[in-house]
Every structure is written in structure tokens, then in C-alpha cells.
């Protein structure tokens, strides 16, 4: 599938969720009747924009479309979205990689900040 979608084996991409209420270029995306019918609170996340940062809750909705965008120097400006970012040291990243542990499920903040979340 990666080859069919022309996704480079090593590149930086941003995944964004497409606003189901936004118009799509002709021939692109799902027809309006097949697009996600999001609950109001989820639709409000778009704040009138064409896309928003990916969230598993949004991606879990039937008919939700996403786009992969090659990351540029200023992705937030290019996509008109605000991205949540976290700084991670190369050492911490290597530890998680070696242990095959998803960082999202094993936060380091309790160790580094002394607070359990």
C-alpha cells in the first residue's frame, strides 16, 4: 500500500483529519453522503478550518477521512492547525525503541517531574 500511495519509506509526514463539512476538490474524498457525521463537540474541534490534528477519537468515527502531508518547515502554518508537540531526548527515544514500549502508554513525567498523572 505504501508504494501505491507513493509514501516514501523514510520521510516526515503529518496526519491531519479532514473536516467532513468542508468542500473537497472534484474527484477527491468521499461523497457528502458517506462522510462522517461527527457529534457537535468533535465538529467544533475544526474551528471552521479544513482540517485538524489527528486524534484517535476522530479517526475512530466511520467516514472520517485523513490526509498525509509531507512535513514542511512550518507545518502549523501550512495546515492552519495547532499541533501538540512534546520534546523527547534521544536517550529516552532509544530506551523506548529498544524495549518496544509505546511512549504514550508509559510516560516519563513521573520520573522527570515527580508527579504521577
CA–CA separation, 86 vs 91, rounded Å? 14
Q: pLDDT of 86-109, one tens digit each?
A: 666 677 777 777 777 776 777 766
- The domain limits of the chain are 13-79, 86-117
C-alpha cell at 50: 479544513
Q: pLDDT of 9-44, one tens digit each?
A: 666 777 888 888 888 777 788 888 889 888 898 888
Residue where the block lists cell 524495549: 99
Q: Is the pTM here over 0.85, yes or no?
A: no
Amino acid at each position: 500500500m505504501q508504494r501505491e500511495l507513493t509514501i516514501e519509506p523514510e520521510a516526515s509526514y503529518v496526519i491531519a483529519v479532514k473536516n467532513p463539512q468542508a468542500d473537497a476538490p472534484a474527484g477527491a474524498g468521499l461523497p457528502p453522503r458517506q462522510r462522517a457525521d461527527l457529534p457537535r463537540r468533535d465538529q467544533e474541534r475544526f474551528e471552521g478550518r479544513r482540517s485538524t490534528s489527528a486524534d484517535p477519537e476522530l479517526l475512530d468515527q466511520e467516514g472520517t477521512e485523513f490526509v498525509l502531508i509531507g512535513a514542511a518547515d512550518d507545518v502549523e502554518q501550512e495546515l492552519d492547525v495547532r499541533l501538540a508537540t512534546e520534546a523527547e531526548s534521544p536517550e529516552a527515544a532509544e530506551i523506548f525503541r529498544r524495549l518496544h514500549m509505546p511512549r504514550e502508554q508509559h510516560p516519563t513525567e513521573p520520573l522527570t517531574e515527580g508527579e504521577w498523572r
